[in-house]
């Protein structure tokens, strides 16, 4: 069965996050080389890399959760029957969905604040709102993925 569209979208966002982290590595390499070889680093390299990495990490979150890649401690639950582990997964996904919705709301509020205030980074004047926009998009997709997992797990529990 093919992946639902939300999973494919989450995968493409994760690819974009990986691409952004590669860009951060390239900027670091150019800046360090410029600093030591030519006494000319990339202006504002710290704030540029900080924003790129933050967005990149946010873009990984939906896919990581969709494929069950988050760290879990199953030391106490590994001996439980499958239906009980599914119930625990359901509870986890419900709580995570609520947290993702809450974080989407707050990151969205941050986006609106940064956009309306015109806040820019100190050294090179990059608008801060764009990073909040990508983070908000990623958190919204994470909430959708959590809800998708809840629905899927309910279906599995009914099929037992």
The pair phi, psi for residue 120, each rounded to 5°, is -130, 165
Provide the whole-model pTM.
0.88
Query: In this predicted structure, what is the pLDDT of residue 160?
Result: 67
The pair phi, psi for residue 127, each rounded to 5°, is -60, 130
For 42-82, what is each residue's pLDDT tens digit? 999 999 999 999 999 999 999 999 988 777 767 677 788 88
Query: Half-sphere exposure of residue 29, counting CA atoms within 13 Å on the CB side?
Result: 6
97, 150 contact by CB (below 8 A)? yes
* 5-38 and 129-158 helices, crossing angle to 10°: 140
**What are the residue boundaries of the structural domains of the chain, listed by start?**
5-71+79-158
Residue 64 CA to residue 72 CA, distance in Å, equals 12
Instruction: Provide the pLDDT confidence category of residue 96 given band limits of 50, 70 and 90.
Output: very high
Which has the closest alpha carbon to 67: 19, 21, 6?
Answer: 6
Between the alpha carbon of residue 133 and those of residues 11, 23, 93, 95, 111, the distances in Å are 18, 19, 24, 24, 6
For 12-36, what is each residue's pLDDT tens digit? 999 999 999 999 999 999 999 999 9
């Amino acid at each position: 069965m093919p992946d639902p569209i939300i999973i494919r979208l989450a995968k493409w966002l994760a690819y974009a996050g990986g691409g952004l982290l590669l860009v951060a590595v390239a900027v670091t390499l150019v800046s360090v080389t410029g600093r030591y070889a030519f006494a000319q680093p990339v202006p504002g390299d710290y704030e540029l890399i900080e924003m790129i990495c933050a967005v990149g990490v946010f873009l990984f979150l939906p896919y990581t959760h969709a494929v069950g890649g988050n760290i879990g401690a199953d030391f106490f639950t590994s001996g439980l029957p499958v239906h009980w582990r599914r119930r625990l997964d359901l509870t986890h996904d419900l709580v995570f969905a609520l947290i993702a919705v809450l974080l989407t709301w707050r990151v969205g509020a941050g986006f609106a604040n940064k956009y309306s205030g015109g806040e820019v980074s100190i050294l090179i004047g990059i608008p801060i709102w764009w990073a909040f926009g990508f983070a908000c998009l990623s958190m919204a997709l994470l909430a959708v993925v959590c809800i998708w997992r809840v629905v899927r797990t309910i279906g599995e529990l009914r099929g037992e």
